[in-house]
Chains A and B, each alone.
Chain A
Amino acid sequence: MNPMTEPAEIDPVRSGAGRADEGRAADLSTAPAEPTITVDQSAEKIFDCSGVNVLYNGKMAVEDVAIPLLKGDITALIGPSGCGKSTFLRCLNRMNDLIPGAEVQGSIVYHGQDLYAKAVDPVEVRKRIGMVFQKPNPFPKSIYDNIAFGPRLRGVKKADMDEVVESALQRAALWDDVKDRLKDNAFGMSGGQQQRLCIARALATSPDVLLMDEPCSALDPISTGKIEDLMTELKDHVSIVIVTHNMQQAARVSDKTAFFIVDLSAGENKRIGKLVEFAPTEQIFSNPADVRTEQYVTGKFG
């Protein structure tokens, strides 16, 4: 691992941290300054995003996000409700294409290729970039068929399927729980098992990135712990981007953290999500560059 890089320079927002230290909350609804990026970018980038805007029916929802997402990292996206972290996540596998009226501007480069180029088929994108949702969403089929769904779409042969299913379940640490009931309906599993099944289902197609949209928010602490352990095990092979409401979770599992806020400076009805800071997780939670990050992670707002 590379040593943490120093914050590039002291910017105007950073110098405002002194005021926050006096216990007076900064005015968080004002227009944020430029986001602070203090991440060593020499590692291979899976995604390189710049100037990403997301609009719904012409209304800005997320503005000007620029983040490099690095290989082998667990990157957490944190921030208050409505800050656009989930919206941004859904740009990375073009799930926003499915929402009528949604428009993505700017550039998202995936392994050197523009994800939003005309020639790129969103279906092919989603075959390479897995996604796990907030609420476990197993299909009303057997455990086996849930896992086999993705590989079947890719033409994996029936003879090879058992192996693919087993390996996916192994990687999701679910094999021992379910190996004797692969033919049972997935709806009979517990919530935590269902979510791990969804992770296994996403892994079955060997994606190199897994996008997780608050994957533990519907789970109890024990199931949450299992999923966090799983993420740590997986990250050698799969880079993970996780949206989480739970700051402790971000602190526990992630390598890098991006902090978003809701910018209200354009008016109460124009809530725009903006990136504030992207830094190694340790730094975000111990020594953030931006005063707003510090206030959020210390629980002063959000």
Chain B
Amino acid sequence: MSTPAKMAGKAMQQTTVIPRRDPADARKERGFAFLMYAALAITFVSLAALLVQIGLDGAGSVSTNLITNFPSKINVESSGVKSALYGTVYLMLLTAVFVIPVGIGTAIYLEEYADRKQWWNRLIEVNIQNLASVPSVVYGLLGLAFIVRGPLSLGRTLLAGAITLGLLVLPVVIIVAREAIRAVPPSIRDGSLALGATKWQTIWKQVLPGSIAGIATGVILALSRAIGETAPLIVIGAAVSPRFLPDGINSEFTALPIQIFAFSKDNDPRFLELASATIIVLMVLLLAMNSVAIYLRNRFEQKW
């Protein structure tokens, strides 16, 4: 501050109405801001460190071989993760086929039909919230006991894996879809019903089109969580480093996280490098999916 201004300030002090800022307040303000930035920095720096480390470790092994070749113990240099990449993509599509209708159907029921006064509807709601936080390995055990063996006895197949992952992400899909459906204002439903639309016509022609962008975003994010899951697939017994592609929903399969796990268990440092390269493949896939989700949300989400 220049001297004349300072002097003017002093001269004005006598008649000032608004008291000057308490220096202690200002310190607190700065202190809190610092803490916020520190928290942000911890998250950001650790994530960046991880990505850089993996980039440095794996960049050397990233090549077209990685996605065109099968894993090999003999030709480590040209070993790839073709079976895992295909397995992950198939798994994701199959999970989507399962989780989209069931998830949206449940969300529609809970938002549009369920009477909250009935205890069973409240029970379903609470359970869905809880299921969303059940550890994934528990879903793996469920898949092993009821899908791979037990009542369904599907074996260690792509279908069994997809159903297991579907169950795992179903609560998340339901919760996101419910939020999107709830965002459609009641006045839209009233408007549609007042024109003589039935409840189902109103849901199908107004509520779902109005919420589909939100639902799609949620489904994609849920699927990207599903394809990153390792534990449930290990528990249900996904194949390790198979040299074949799944030829149908009853075929054995593997997925990228399993392949990463298998590579990283090896003592040969070249496999550790391959593991890092495979992580890069998985990360690119996840980032691509999340980008699509963000795009869908920004482009199509309905502003009411």
Contact = CB atoms under 8 A, between A and B. Distances in A.
Instruction: Please indicate whether A and B come from the same complex rather than being unrelated chains.
Output: yes
B115 A100 contact: yes
Interface stretch (B75-83, B131-139, B192-200, B248-256): B192-200
Given A133-B187, A137-B188, A202 B194 contact: yes
A93 B117 CA distance: 26
Contact of A126 (B115, B185, B187, B196): B196
Given A139-B206, A140-B210, A205 B187 contact: no
Contact of A139 (B188, B193, B196, B198): B188
A93 B302 contact: no
B268 interface: no
Interface in A112-140: 123-124, 126-128, 130-131, 133, 135, 137-140
A154 B198 CA distance: 11
B193 to A, nearest CB: 6
Nearest to B184: A140
A127 B197 CA distance: 8
Interface in A137-165: 137-140, 149-150, 153-154
B266 interface: no
B196 A133 contact: no
Contacts of B195: 126-127, 130, 149-150, 153, 201-202, 205
B265 interface: no
Interface size class of B (residues with CB under 8 A): 20 to 34
Contacts of B206: 139
A10 interface: no
B205 interface: yes
A98 interface: yes
Contacts of A124: 196
A140 B188 CA distance: 9
B196 A198 contact: no
A184 to B, nearest CB: 15
A220 to B, nearest CB: 20
B195 to A, nearest CB: 4
B191 interface: yes
Contacts of A137: 185, 187-188, 190-191
B188 to A, nearest CB: 6
A139 B190 contact: no
B191 A139 contact: yes
B298 interface: no
B72 interface: no
Interface of B: 115, 117, 185, 187-188, 190-198, 201, 205-206, 209-210, 302-304
Given A123-B197, A140-B302, 4 more contacts: A126-B195, A140-B209, A198-B191, A205-B195
Interface of A: 93, 95, 98, 100, 123-124, 126-128, 130-131, 133, 135, 137-140, 149-150, 153-154, 187, 198, 201-202, 205
5 contacts: A123-B198, A126-B193, A139-B191, A153-B201, A198-B191
